[in-house]
Structure 1
Amino acid sequence: MLDRLRKVLTPLIVLAALVGLGLMLRHEGPVAARAFARTDALPLLAASLAANVAGLVLAVHAWRVLIPGEHPIRGVSAARIYFLGQLSKYLPGRVWGVLTHVTHGRAAGVPAAQMTSAYLLSLALTVLTGAGVGLLAAPAALPGQWFWLGLPAAGLLACAVRPALATRPVAAAARLLRRPVEAPPDAAVRRAVLLAVASWLVSGLHLWFLALALGGAVGASLGPAVGAFALATVVSSLAVIVPDGWGVRELTITAALATVLPGGVAATAAIASRVVCVVAELGSSAVVLTWARLRSTPMGEEARVHP
């Protein structure tokens, strides 16, 4: 029943998103798209791609530090597992990411329970920190309502001081699903929170560079762009029936950026963001997988080389 529902809803949601974005792009889209063809926009496009790749590198470290036990995964092994998990998000549902991490983590000598724990905790911290960074878009959408930024900041600070506030709810939910979670040390959770926040801030810069290429003001578009990307990614991650939240993320970014850019231009930035993210993820994955193959070192052996 659920499979049938997913098969019906997925194309409907994608179609609705295409129609909505098409209507927004009809008037101002062509003008905004031509802005990317300018020579002075090319450095901004390159900076956008670099920012997204840097954010992915930070995300790898934020996930890796959560792997408990005496045999953490490092180097190319960690990057290989993470990026394979990233590729699985293009399939509907979250089970593929868990299976990818567990299967390849076991090959590296890490028990399935530890890989599952790291995956679930990383997912929870990513959503938590992304929601917090997402409120950077609030001042533009709600002028004079800066106090909203204090709520997620206080939540993140509380989790950094008392990591159990983040790990206990995840552990409780995992027990209900009969997937026990092995909580990492508090220091590891604090590092993961800081790295996740840094990842959101750095990767969100890619949307800011795109906004600048489309004529956005340097100062006025920074917060909305960084916040929009984090908020849109979190919202789209909850739309599990849509592969990689396609359409949901674009509509969220468009709505957030429309506070500082015309609607059609904001929609163009949202679509360009998707292209940049896909290129960054696929390009990084290709580099990491090729690097791992060229090293021709079994993952389990590599884990022993790097205790």
Structure 2
Amino acid sequence: VARQWTEVRRTLDRLEPDLVALALCLVLVGQLASMLAWRALLEGLGSTLRVPVAGRIFFVGQLGKYLPGSVWPVVAQAELGRDHGVPPRASFAAVTLFLWVHLVTGGIVAAVTLATAGVVPWPVSLLALPGLALLAPTPLAWLLGRGARIVRRRPFERLPDTATMRRAASWAAAMWIAYAAHLAAALTAFEAGASLALAAGAFAAAWCAGFLFLIAPAGAGARDVAMIALLSIGVAAAPAIAAVLASRLLLTLADVGWGLAGIVAGRRRAASAVARSDRRR
């Protein structure tokens, strides 16, 4: 980044604000789809929440991912979910499955789209397709059973069925499409046309890399470096860097925006509950 900074600054001067606004809208859509995938998994575990309530729990909890370590979103969502009758064990299981679905679908999306973009050979990418079997109930039962033993808890009595996993994977696919489109829009905003396939592959592969780099908040650093490296295969380095920096900023703004909206909604709900209680007295 330092070596390319002069060129990056020139690229930033050519920024097209309307495309950046479009990219932000696509990020918001992607995060909404991500929340709906989590909600579907939670419902499959026996805890059904209305969409506004699920959104509040999910997005406020997601603010914890900006702290070092991976435990904070789990803790926050468990505490918030408890207020709505969600057992902490179900919250833990939902987050575990949520990350699993993202990792599996992200790996498959990365393999297929990078092959489409000509970055990796098709025979190599096709090896990822059997990974869909990892979303079947039997591997998931093993995953959650293993997790329960690690934290010394009894096994889960109810697990998501095939229909639940199909629904969660569909929402995850919608999320990857929105995120790919936002990155393509960001690249176009900096006058660096890139195929949607390359944008999708770069984003999904970089997300997986950031997820595996546990010590960094929200995969900071590892994800960005991986994304720049992959995008640089098809576009110049300066616009690739500018687009990735813009993407990171937009994702953070969207996280904070959704999270603050959830906090405000929660406070209004609490105030309404107090007002109703006062009227009954």
Q: TM-score, length-normalised on structure 1?
A: 0.80
Shift of 1:238: 1.5
Q: Which residue of 2 aligns with 1:275?
A: 249
Q: Counterpart of 2:241 in structure 1: which amino acid?
A: A
Tell me if the contact between 2:191 and 2:239 (Cα under 8 Å) persists in the aligned partners.
no
Aligned counterpart for 1:206 among listed residues 182, 194, 216 = 182
Aligned counterpart for 2:159 among listed residues 173, 177, 183 = 183
Tell me if the contact between 1:137 and 1:256 (Cα under 8 Å) persists in the aligned partners.
no
Q: Which residue of 1 aligns with 2:104?
A: 128
Q: Counterpart of 1:137 in structure 2: which amino acid?
A: L
Coordinate RMSD, CA, aligned: 2.1
Tell me if the contact between 1:125 and 1:166 (Cα under 8 Å) persists in the aligned partners.
no
CA distance in 2, matches of 1:209, 1:100: 33
Shift of 1:252: 0.8
Q: Which residue of 2 aligns with 1:11?
A: none
CA distance in 1, matches of 2:144, 2:125: 24
Match runs of 1:1-307 below 5 Å = 21-23=1-3, 25-36=4-15, 41-67=16-42, 68=44, 70-135=46-111, 136-140=113-117, 142=119, 145-156=121-132, 158-159=133-134, 162-179=136-153, 180-181=155-156, 182-217=158-193, 220-296=194-270
Shift of 1:108: 0.9
Tell me if the contact between 1:63 and 1:122 (Cα under 8 Å) persists in the aligned partners.
yes
Tell me if the contact between 1:76 and 1:292 (Cα under 8 Å) persists in the aligned partners.
no
Q: Larger deviation: 285-294 or 191-200?
A: 285-294
Shift of 1:275: 0.7
Shift of 1:260: 1.4
CA distance in 1, matches of 2:159, 2:85: 19
Shift of 1:199: 1.0
Tell me if the contact between 1:29 and 1:264 (Cα under 8 Å) persists in the aligned partners.
yes
SS at match of 1:215: coil
Shift of 1:62: 0.2
CA distance in 1, matches of 2:257, 2:143: 35
Alpha-carbon displacement from aligned partner over 1:28-49 (angstroms, at most 9, x marks no partner) = 212211121xxxx222111100
Tell me if the contact between 1:29 and 1:267 (Cα under 8 Å) persists in the aligned partners.
yes
Alpha-carbon displacement from aligned partner over 1:99-133 (angstroms, at most 9, x marks no partner) = 11211111111111111111111111111111111
Tell me if the contact between 2:47 and 2:90 (Cα under 8 Å) persists in the aligned partners.
no
Q: Counterpart of 2:49 in structure 1: which amino acid?
A: I
SS at match of 2:25: helix
Shift of 1:231: 1.5
**CA spacing shift, 1:283–1:141, aligned 2, 3 Å:** same
SS at match of 2:41: coil
Tell me if the contact between 2:60 and 2:260 (Cα under 8 Å) persists in the aligned partners.
no
**CA spacing shift, 1:241–1:201, aligned 2, 3 Å:** same
Shift of 1:159: 4.6
Q: Unmatched 5+ residue regions in structure 2?
A: 274-281
- Report the count of equivalent residues: 268
Shift of 1:95: 1.5
Alpha-carbon displacement from aligned partner over 1:191-243 (angstroms, at most 9, x marks no partner) = 111111211111221111011112233xx521111221121122112211111
CA distance in 2, matches of 1:167, 1:56: 27
Structure 1 runs of 4+ with >3 Å offset = 68-71, 138-141, 179-182, 295-298
**CA spacing shift, 1:22–1:167, aligned 2, 3 Å:** farther
SS at match of 1:94: coil
SS at match of 1:85: helix
Alpha-carbon displacement from aligned partner over 1:252-304 (angstroms, at most 9, x marks no partner) = 11001101111122111111110111111111222232233334456xxxxxx
Q: TM-score, length-normalised on structure 2?
A: 0.87
